Structure 1
């Protein structure tokens, strides 16, 4: 096994990455990983499963073995080790609302998406870094949404899990809302309102279960090609409104803690402790960017407001991060808004005066 060795030298306004020349000559491609909390790292080619065993040691027959690899104590693949927990099994008749792509005398064929954990690691300044803990947290958060929230037209369908692989989701024949807006189409008022109503329906359905989306953005919304149906997906940053929240700068919470601990006595229940991490700018709420969020459902409302501005203006927008953290909106943000300006302003207020998303906010043409 070859571990990429990287030296990071801090400069005033930039980072310099120094790679060993021999390392650069190694065959194989470097895989990228992007997250607001993790460092880009190289993939582990061994595809090992660490079933919660902290005493595993690695052996190598190479005359020049690499330094010991950091083995995360709770590897994400353990989530999908059979027997699959009942909570992660497929819902009854999972393909009820899906159309088969082909049909034979004894079977029906459906397209689907398999989403599996991608754990990567890198040696930085002599220290092993891994995204394993965050990957585990995100997959457990997404499974909680899919196995808690009832089916909904505007939420991607969950079809179950595959042993030692990952979760199975419906295949969506469409494009992201980002691609829809980037094409700068002439959206009619009726189409804008339809997108608004569908997004509102999917989000308020999730919120009725006390769960947030956590990373609502133009990239996490799919629009089907056939009927322009909105589909919400990617719930890895979802948290429960009933949880206790610790600072995102603290040590990562153990994602298995609430599963590992025995059921509390009937006198009371122990709330899960979660961290609210920033999602995609400029859709992340200012209080989330500051690490001060205490109401994840209100944070979703802010993201929803930003998306409404993009839909109304039929163009992509951006905010200066240092201004957004201070709850400041740029001059001219609502220029060109003819449908959602009043409503978007209410969603983009400071958190203590911001309005929540309500099912009754459905608009008519």
Structure 2
């Protein structure tokens, strides 16, 4: 078998492989790995058509431009270029970014805050003599996450964005807590009031995000943090977020160019966004991924988030992780054993786990009343 195409995503060991059934007698020539050394991701260029890394041998060979007088902006196609000049300054720190954060230490002339620095992690492998990389997918995820943090107004249930470090990555609020998965497995189990509180906080964060036409895309127990001090829910990891205004395509299609919105008009000093961005919907963590996403038929990413929210509600209500058979999930089956032990959210969860065309989006009015 000869590997025809390999696409890596940023999740390690997650590959999409297309293989020729019959080995062609005329295979494409293998690259001479002995003549081109590879030392680091910074020295590797990414081809503009497929996002794959190539050795540096041909990157300086350029054909003459038919009209050299028109400047054409061609940004470097590596994830670290997101945080380098001349990337737009829209990713700078928001006004007063530490307004709602508590300093970890304070001196006579300064305050110290804990934070998280998130930087691109590029994986590169040589397959059939060619360098393959997940750089395109890393770029897509970082741009998607930056879009959420720079477009969505600050909210107590979404981790705060503190800006970007040039040539490094994005800076996020340090959440001193644990995952929701760790919380529901604690014993004694959660009280009824605490379950309802978690439901309302999750709903508040998600509906705030959805009000901007953006989905989360990978909602699961591991992408929700709960603070130690006040049990405050914090939504994290928006790398699979997509916009409802984009043209959505499945991951099996040819990957969309993650740099498309960096294109610059030759006659315009600023950046422009295409009329309709093309975005791929990747499946999130199973069993929280919606069946239509698993079938590559998703048309409304906000409805897919509602399905994920329904699965989380079952986990919170039962205080344990739940699962179902993958083939059942792909067929929109909702087995009754999922709800064994549910005392609060069964009716609500069943609504969110319905077939996508019978499902409804999340609304703020879905919040449960509380005693406080």
TM-score (norm 2): 0.80
Q: Deviations over 1:138-159 (max 9, x none)?
A: 0000000000000000000000
Partner secondary structure for residue 172 of structure 2: strand
**1:301 aligns to what SS in structure 2?**
helix
Q: In structure 2, do the counterparts of structure 1 residues 194 and 307 end up closer, same or farther at CA, with 3 Å as the change threshold?
A: same
Tell me the equivalent position of 2:93. 90
**Equivalent runs, 1:179-328 vs 2, <5 Å:** 179-262=182-265, 270-328=275-333
Q: Give 4+ residue runs of structure 1 displaced > 6 Å after superposition.
A: 51-56
Q: Structure 2 CA distance, aligned partners of 1:169 and 1:292?
A: 33
CA-CA distance at 1:74 after TM superposition? 1.6
Q: Does 1:357 align with 2:362?
A: yes
Q: Which runs of 5+ in 2 are unaligned?
A: 4-9, 18-37, 49-53, 59-74
Q: Tell me the alpha carbon deviations over residues 7-28 of structure 1, each in whole angstroms, 9 at most, x when there is no partner.
A: 999xxxxxxxxxxxxxxxxxxx
Q: CA separation of 1:226/1:245 partners in 2, compared to 1, >3 Å: closer, same or farther?
A: same
Identify the match of residue 344 of structure 1 among 349, 353, 356: 349
The CA RMSD measured in Å over matched residues stands at 2.6
Equivalent runs, 1:40-119 vs 2, <5 Å: 46-48=40-42, 57=56, 74-119=77-122
Q: Deviations over 1:100-151 (max 9, x none)?
A: 0001110000000000000011123444321111000000000000000000
Contact 2:55/2:131 (8 A) holds in 1: no
TM-score (norm 1): 0.81
- d(CA) in 2 for partners of 1:108, 1:47: 35
Change (3 A) 1:185 1:254: farther
Task: Give the 3-state SS of the residue equivalent to 2:238 in structure 1.
Answer: coil
Q: 1:35 to 1:295 in 2, by over 3 A?
A: farther
Partner of 1:141: 144
* 5+ residue gaps, structure 1: 1-6, 10-31, 60-71
Query: How far apart in 1 are the matches of 2:15 and 2:139?
Result: 14
More displaced stretch, 328-337 vs 293-302: 328-337
